[in-house]
Amino acid sequence: MKLKNSQLGVDMTKEFTEQKIGYGRPPEEHQFRKGQSGNPRGRPRGRKSIIAILNRALNETVPVQEGGKRKMMTKIEAGAKQFANRVASGDPQALKTLIGFKDCPEWAEISAQFSQDNGRTGADFLRHAQEVHDRLLARENANPPNAD
């Protein structure tokens, strides 16, 4: 005679619903609740690098008055325009800085753009900037400022 499981007093449903416990499978009473972090006091979020902070600051937009009109541009664009204005006015330090850009990897791209715009190469532009810089230095050396 065959006995049914219910007649043996064994609850088969409990046997199938029990989870296996082992590595990566903690008992239910030790599992994290929904929405609870697994490491509440764990590693703090990383600090931003100085480059990331500077990049974010330089990409902020600021209002600029240009040609009598107010327009928005990034801080780096505004700074580049100010630098270009200093170069155009013949500021020796700005010219020296500009000449230092020739070692910059992006210079080839800028040079190509410059030559497309006006038929001259970036090397011509740099040569001109160097000549202007040298003339200004020669003028300063010939007429030193009065030391009072």
pLDDT in tens, 126-143: 776 777 767 777 766 776
Cβ-based neighbours of 92, under 8 Å, separated by 6 or more: 133, 136, 137, 140
Neighbours of 98 (CB within 10 A): 20
Q: Which among 111, 109, 64 has a CA at the least distance from the CA of 85?
A: 64
Q: Output the six-digit token pair for 57.
A: 């600051």
pLDDT for position 87: 85
pLDDT at 148 over 70: no
Summarize pLDDT for 101-123 with one digit per residue, the tens: 777 766 767 666 666 666 666 66
Vertex 87 angle, CA 62 and 102, to 5°: 100
Q: Output the six-digit token pair for 89.
A: 């006015």
- Compute CA 132 distance to the chain's CA centroid, rounded to the nearest angstrom: 34
**CA–CA distance, 19 with 35 (Å, rounded to integer):** 22
**CA–CA distance, 134 with 78 (Å, rounded to integer):** 27
Summarize pLDDT for 79-106 with one digit per residue, the tens: 988 988 888 888 888 888 887 877 776 6
Do 97 and 105 form a contact (C-beta atoms < 8 A)? no
